Amino acid sequence: MIEHTLDTVHSILYVRPKAALEKSDFVQLANSVDPYIGEAGGLKGLIIDAPKFPGWEDLGAMAAHFRFVRDHQRHIEKIALVTDSALGNVAERLASHFVSAEIKHFPAGEIEAARQWVVTAG
């Protein structure tokens, strides 16, 4: 399950995984963010607030996650990973090879630092 909020003033999508990720989570994210991307041309940033990574419900959910990333990564300038999970550092390094967005890892609880980084030019 993913909670999300779209801050249209700052062009930031906040994503908060709360339980194992489900296929339907990515359908809901796309339904929420795609109209904004179509109108604005993209997002300034994506902030993923996940103190611990909850994993996926099944392989279908993992595939939906990867499709979402593939279909949306070109429309996001910066991705902030706010987590204490060991996957934060791995994701920062690995994802940088597959996505065009700039990626940065922040410790859990550092949402404001992540937001400041996203809205800062450069």
The model's pLDDT over 44-99, given as tens digits with 9 standing for 90+, comes to 999 999 988 888 999 999 999 988 988 898 999 999 999 987 665 555 555 554 56
Q: Which of 32, 24, 36, 118 is nearest to 79 (CA)?
A: 118
Give the chain's length. 122
CATH topology of domain 2-119: Transcription Regulator spoIIAA (3.30.750)
Q: Is the pLDDT of residue 39 over 90?
A: yes
Convert the pLDDT of each residue in 7-37 to its tens digit. 999 999 999 999 999 999 999 999 999 999 9
Residue ranges of domains in the chain? 2-119
Establish how many alpha carbons lie within 13 A of residue 73's alpha carbon, considering only the half-sphere containing its beta carbon: 15
Beta pairing, strands 12-17 & 2-7:
antiparallel
pTM summary value: 0.87
For the chain, what is the mean pLDDT?
A: 88
Rounded distance, CA 119 to CA 83, Å?
A: 19
Convert the pLDDT of each residue in 88-108 to its tens digit. 555 555 555 456 788 888 999
Establish how many alpha carbons lie within 13 A of residue 6's alpha carbon, considering only the half-sphere containing its beta carbon: 15
